[in-house]
Structure 1
Amino acid sequence: MNILDLGDTHIHWREDGDLAGAPVVFSHALGSDLRMWDKIVPLMPAGLRLIRYDTRGHGLSACPAGPYAMGALIRDAERLLEALDIRDCAFVGLSMGGLIAQGLAVKRLDLVRAMVLSNTAAKIGTPQIWADRIAAVRAEGIEGIADAVMQRWFSRRFRETAELKGWRAMLVRTPADGYAGCSAAIAGADFLTPTSGLTLPTLVLAGSEDGSTPPDLVRETADLVRGSRFHLIRGAGHLPPVEAPEDFAAVLAGFLRGIGHV
């Protein structure tokens, strides 16, 4: 277990692969934790340094009082990379993690040489949608929204498997303060203009069955980044690393090879 003490919070992180290899950093979705990438890590090419972490308010990271700003989530990632002496990483962010990826690339191109945006957008939802979600969590707990989240996250096929129970449990065990705090950060995030100025190598992934960030929304974000590559993973919902890990890993590995990162 690796814990980075940042003073105002602490971040849990994990490292796999070749510790001397080119770094790839993974940032997870709201209501999950670094285990979201468990199926992807073993499928990555040799020679990569694979770093995962729990966003504040999630997993084994601290859950400071909210609400949070997206700038704070970006700063957490920035400080983690600095502490691990990482430069020129490929940063892979899914949903909330994709917002963090965009913000970090805008702020620190010395840290990020390539960006992978999965099931995300430059702006996700509206302030009212997130205000309603936060109110529901405050009133009913995460249990009260869990079934609706599962509907948006996963395809019908996956929802019929026993594995769904584990992902539902992960969501429900997320601290309500952490979920609400990060929801507030997402509500206030709008990278439409900043992301449109990015030119770094970018892969954008969507799931055909995604009920949270539908493919058309994800494609619109891909169109913001000049030269980006868009790929649709058919049959997968909001979390392709969970539902379609082989497809996700193959496309990711191909992208990393194509840019000379491995």
Structure 2
Amino acid sequence: MASVQLADGVLNYRLDGPEGAPVLVLSNSLGTDHTMWDPQLPAFAAHFRVLRYDTRGHGQSLVTEGPYSIEQLGRDVLALLDALKIERAHFCGLSMGGLIGQWLGIHAGERLNRLIVCNTAAKIGNDEVWNPRIDMVLRDREAAMVGLRDASIERWFTKAYAQANPDQAKRITDMLAGTSPDGYAANCGAVRDADFRGQLGEIKVPLLVISGSADAVTPPAGGRFIQEHVVGAEYAEFQAAHLSNVEVGAPFSRRVIDFLLAR
């Protein structure tokens, strides 16, 4: 693993795939780290220089005082690209990573080649959803993170997948229990405050939206809303819950690759 120095700490990242290939940035969901993309790495690295990173407040990256904003997290991505001297890249983000992708598409489209946002929405939840969670995490700390981990299995995966793949489901949900309570709460604030419903028309880069038909966290209606408000955007839906990249695996990877390689 490697890191770049930001103004207020380090951002952890990893590069895989052939040097000189087009860069594909992968952005993790709330409560996970860059390894949530492990199922995609072999297929993606065959075509792209894959840049994975731990979003601020997650994994081995910096934890600073919150709440954060999606703009702040988007600017972290731009700082990472600048530090690595990457002028343009593809970007694929899931859930919170999809919010970061929307911000980049609206405000920094000149840095993007193509954009994929997965299992996300232009607005995710509201104060009534996020504020009690933030309060609980900051009050109960590690105990709250363990409780969130135990509750996340049924939100992140369909029952059939979790029962058939218990080790994989545990690997992913254990990331949540290991996330910094301060970092998690700060990122919850970023998701709470993000609302791109009135700005989606400003995204001009080629866009693919992916949803999970069984996703109760960000239902397909949110993904279709994004697709309908961005000219030329494509839409794909898989039988999956919230972490469709993990649950669907190879078909998810193929759909992303086909979109990125299209002319």
Report TM bin, short chain. over 0.9
Structure 1 stretch displaced more, 168-177 or 194-203: 194-203
SS for the counterpart of 1:211 is coil
Is contact 1:68-1:182 (8 Å) kept? yes
Q: In the TM superposition, what are the counterparts of 1:88-167 in structure 2 within 5 Å?
A: 88-140=88-140, 141-160=144-163, 161-163=165-167, 164-167=169-172
Determine the C-alpha separation between the residues in 2 that align with 1:203 and 1:240. Answer: 14
SS for the counterpart of 1:134 is helix
Sequence identity of aligned pairs in percent?
38
> TM-score by structure 2 length?
0.94
Which letter maps to 2:252? F
Where does the alignment leave 5 or more consecutive residues of structure 2 unmatched? none
Give the match for residue 209 of structure 1.
Answer: 214
SS for the counterpart of 2:73 is helix
Q: In the TM superposition, what are the counterparts of 1:30-45 in structure 2 within 5 Å?
A: 30-44=30-44
* 1:104 shift after superposition: 1.3
Give the match for residue 250 of structure 2.
Answer: 246
Where does the alignment leave 5 or more consecutive residues of structure 1 unmatched? none
* 1:139 shift after superposition: 3.1
Give the match for residue 170 of structure 1.
Answer: 175
1:147-197 Cα deviation digits (max 9, x unpaired): 322211110012213222222211100010011000001111111122222
Q: CA RMSD in A?
A: 1.3
The answer to whether structure 1 residue 237 and structure 2 residue 256 are counterparts is no
Determine the C-alpha separation between the residues in 1 that align with 2:203 and 2:166. Answer: 41
Determine the C-alpha separation between the residues in 2 that align with 1:48 and 1:144. Answer: 37
SS for the counterpart of 1:4 is strand
Is contact 2:10-2:62 (8 Å) kept? yes
Is contact 1:90-1:114 (8 Å) kept? yes
Determine the C-alpha separation between the residues in 2 that align with 1:137 and 1:45. Answer: 36
> TM-score by structure 1 length?
0.94
* 1:45 shift after superposition: 6.3
Is contact 2:109-2:204 (8 Å) kept? no
* 1:47 shift after superposition: 3.8
